[in-house]
């Protein structure tokens, strides 16, 4: 990739001292954004090679990333744009892959138990949705009844997620370069 014209317009001192709200360009698509409240963040502006539309991608807080780090990150994003890809779509796709890998590692029972824990506050509303048990014939608590129902489920969430992964792999296949 050739050198982008006009990179390096900002100085680290300007980034630190600037308080007036607005956008301050460093060049090559990298901007320092100062909000009305005074917070500063890095933004990368580009034209999406996929849609042809102008887009902005957040690059993190100026408190977290120095000017040099923001420039390095902007270089990485420019390379993605130069490859004909939309960096926002690529970032979101990678996040989805990570979520999918995490979920695929869980059993159905783990997923259900996580759901139950997250929705514990809805207990009174959900109590009628589960089969009532007599204390002598089954679990004594609502929690126990829910977990028992989960264990009785015959389907496999893992199998369904693996099918989703196959579909995602098929979608990505034409985009991969031949080896």
Q: Is 51 exposed, middle or buried (0-12, 13-18, 19+ CB in 10 A)?
A: exposed
Q: How many beta carbons lie within 10 A of that of residue 30, not counting itself?
A: 26
**Residue 146: predicted pLDDT:** 62
| For the chain, percent of residues with pLDDT exceeding 70 | 63
User: What's the domain range around 133?
Assistant: 106-174
Inside any domain, residue 2: no
Rounded to whole angstroms, the Cα distance separating 11 from 55 reads 25
Res 55 pLDDT > 70: yes
Give me the number of domains the chain comprises. Answer: 2
**Residue 21: predicted pLDDT:** 95
DSSP 30: E
Res 14 pLDDT > 60: yes
Inside any domain, residue 64: yes
Bridge partners of residue 33, in order along the sequence:
23, 41
Task: Give the mean pLDDT of 66-78.
Answer: 96
Q: Phi first, then psi: what are they for 53, rounded to 5°?
A: -100, 150
The confidence band for 142, taking pLDDT boundaries of 50, 70 and 90, is low
């Amino acid at each position: 990739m050739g050198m982008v014209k006009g990179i390096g317009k900002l100085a680290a001192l300007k980034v630190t001292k600037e308080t007036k709200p607005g956008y301050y360009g460093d060049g090559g698509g990298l901007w320092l954004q100062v909000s009305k409240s005074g917070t500063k963040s890095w933004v990368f502006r580009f034209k999406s090679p996929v849609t042809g539309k102008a887009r902005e991608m957040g690059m993190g807080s100026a408190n977290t990333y120095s000017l040099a780090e923001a420039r390095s990150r902007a270089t990485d994003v420019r390379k993605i744009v130069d490859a004909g890809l939309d960096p926002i779509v690529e970032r979101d796709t990678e996040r989805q892959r990570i979520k999918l890998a995490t979920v695929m590692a869980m059993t159905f029972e783990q997923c259900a138990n996580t759901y139950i824990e997250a929705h514990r506050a809805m207990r009174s509303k959900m109590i009628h949705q589960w089969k009532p048990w007599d204390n002598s014939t089954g679990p004594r608590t609502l929690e126990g009844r829910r977990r028992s129902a989960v264990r009785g489920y015959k389907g496999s969430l893992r199998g369904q997620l693996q099918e989703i992964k196959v579909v995602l792999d098929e979608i990505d296949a034409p985009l991969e370069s031949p080896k």
